[in-house]
A and B are shown apart, each in its own frame.
Chain A
Amino acid sequence: MTDATAGAAAMDAAVVDPSNLPDDVILRVNHLVKEFPITKGIFFRKQIGAVKAVSDISFEIKRGETLGLVGESGCGKSTTARSLLRLLEPTSGDVWFRMEREGEEDEIVNVATAKKDLLREVRRDMQIVFQDPYASLNPRMTVASIIAEPLLVHGEGTKSERLDKVKDLLKVVGLSPEHANRYPHEFSGGQRQRIGVARALALNPSFMVLDEPVSALDVSIQAQVLNLMDDLQDEYGLTYLFIAHDLSVVRHISDRVAVMYLGKMVEMADRDALYDRPMHPYTHALLSAVPIPDPHIEANRERIILEGDIPSPANPPSGCRFHTRCPIAVEGKCDVDEPEFRELEAGHWAACHFPEVQQVF
């Protein structure tokens, strides 16, 4: 909130001086690009193209807030998350992260270029919870060894201290400590997701990426896990990057929301500003498409139905990537010039040549 213009200028600069990172910012992503090469040939691999999963996005996350990152499948939101944590190597760009150590001055680390040892150190503070509660737990390890793994890897505590910590963590996420010696398949989806959360909490991180943590769960279980995430944030002062395709869930959990389309950021604003006064035509369509569990509201809603499908990220449209489906696209402009992602109102960013506030529900 300090001064939006200064923030904007800083964000646009190709290289940000890390000392410029305001005190309340925990993570800043600068011009992040991630491309997956498309190769051909058996003996001599030749690159014949690239899937541009994330094309030059920048944003920052403040300490203690939840940034919701939404978009449809293939928009690059999960790739963004994995690049932040260096689970994928970014093609280019910087990820500045504030490492906080008790009694010491904060250290600002560029995760995108950090060397092995530094990266290991940073990963104490950045953790991730995955979407699929079945694939994210090693089926051959007990719950105790799954949750204790981060501690073990970082050489924390003795065996019995780690076990005590595991039991504490199980309680924190609402499971019983007796579950420690069981295997993942003995648990329901919701319980497994709690185990995944406990693992992420083990090293007392300050920042957590939640990659669609409730998408695979039934509605009643979803609510339990969302409440848990809320409570943990209050309890431990966590900062979340919450990735989801479900805009209702994102509205519920986020402080600010960013919308992605085909590897680009199209709009970013405070939660209520984004939902009540969206400016980008894609956000309009996205919001208008989400059903609301209220028959009377549904009966009177006008939907913006988009034509066609999302184009391939291997071959994105020229100009504005949304122009092929955009109801207000102007020929000669939108298909030629790429709109800049700019701050239209304080804290409200959008990438559109013709932004317009429109209420969609």
Chain B
Amino acid sequence: MSEPLLVVDDLRTYFSTEEGIVRAVDGISFTMEAGQRLGVVGESGSGKSVTALSVMGLIEPPAGEIVTGRLLFKGQNLLELDEDQMQEVRGGQIAMIFQDPMTALNPVYTIGDQLMETILLHQDVSRSEAREIAIQAIEDVQIPNASQRMMDYPHQYSGGMRQRIMIAMGLSCNPDLLIADEPTTALDVTTQAQIMDLMLQLAEDRGTAVMLITHDLGVVAGFCDDVHVMYAGGIVESGSIDDIYYNPQHPYTWGLLGSMTRLDDAQRQRLHSVRGAPPSVIDLPKGCRFRPRCDFATEICGEVLPALRDVGNPGQRAACHHAEELDLKSMIAGDETSEPVVSEGASS
């Protein structure tokens, strides 16, 4: 196997606040292959967005700091680059799109100007060539009348259109990795479908790897190959989407799935919710961070922070002391569709 696209090794990103040190990301490791579509799922405060910002080199000292860790992008440690070199990578080889496209676009410049600026910054082309590339990029994201709409300002675009422009901007320099941080959370469901459809199509056509950061397990199910589930600054489970959805090994993953209301659920059963709320990342509980909310916690869970280890299907990992003993799969309530296809999913 060739060199991985991205290796995150024991990344720890802390923020200092008046209340204390916020351990937003606390020791996570994973790799991403070229063209892989990875979902990073978690609730607010789980550290999923900070992970993305760390990779992008957008953690601003002194408030936030990457305390330890290595971020190898195509073999090169991003943490050793200076700001100019990082600028080259950012937008050129790694692009990012945000939840709120309005804040990422400058309201006083036209869409065309902003697109061309990104292109000129990262590619050695003339202005007229940059213009051509920009028009092409707008057409690629299926906005009609591209050359006309180049001259519009961000406020003349709808929310969905702005997010398309962000995607156009992100992909205009053909990055190897696109990080999408809750790209559809602010959008209506029909617009979300448009945007996810577009992202899937573009990522497949170009072979761009995508890190999709979201709280929505539904969006992940239709888009990603693999999933990391984050909780209180750490990865608690990772695996292929089939592993995660049909054979969860961590009680939190299981609880999340049980908390989801489903469009195709005709039975109106009581939701199996996770009790309590996530811990404060300033004052983390001793041992397993999920212990206070876990139905299966024992003494050891209060003592030792479980490491992410191989468990369940090949390639699946979970950070739970009791993963082997728990048969969480069989406890997925009223889900007939999952049962017969598990073997098929595991073999693929």
Contacts and interface: CB of A to CB of B under 8 A. Distances in A.
Q: Do chains A and B touch in the complex (CB under 8 A)?
A: yes
Interface of A: 72-73, 188, 190-191, 218-224, 226-227, 230, 245-249, 251-252, 272, 275-276, 285-299, 301, 303, 305-306, 309-310, 361
Interface string B257-297: 11111111110101111110110000000000000000000
Nearest to A288: B193
- The B contact surface, by secondary structure, is helix
Nearest to A188: B277
Interface of B: 43-44, 158, 160-161, 188-194, 196-197, 215-222, 241-242, 245-246, 255-266, 268, 270-275, 277-278, 337-338, 341, 345
Nearest to A360: B263
B188 A223 contact: no
Contacts of B270: 227, 230
- The A contact surface, by secondary structure, is helix
B263 A309 contact: no
A285 B190 CA distance: 7
25 contacts: A188-B277, A218-B278, A220-B259, A222-B261, A223-B261, A223-B272, A223-B273, A224-B275, A246-B189, A248-B263, A275-B264, A286-B190, A289-B192, A291-B216, A291-B218, A292-B218, A292-B262, A293-B262, A294-B245, A294-B264, A296-B242, A296-B341, A298-B218, A299-B222, A305-B193
A309 B161 contact: yes
Given A285-B190, A289-B190, A275 B266 contact: yes
B341 A293 contact: no
B215 A247 contact: no
Given A221-B43, A276-B266, 9 more contacts: A226-B271, A226-B273, A272-B266, A275-B266, A288-B193, A293-B257, A294-B262, A298-B221, A309-B161
Nearest to A291: B218
Contact of B197 (A72, A248, A251, A303): A303
Given A72-B188, A290-B218, A295-B241, A219 B259 contact: yes
B189 A245 contact: yes
B216 to A, nearest CB: 7
A71 to B, nearest CB: 9
Nearest to B46: A218
Contacts of B246: 295
Contacts of A285: 190
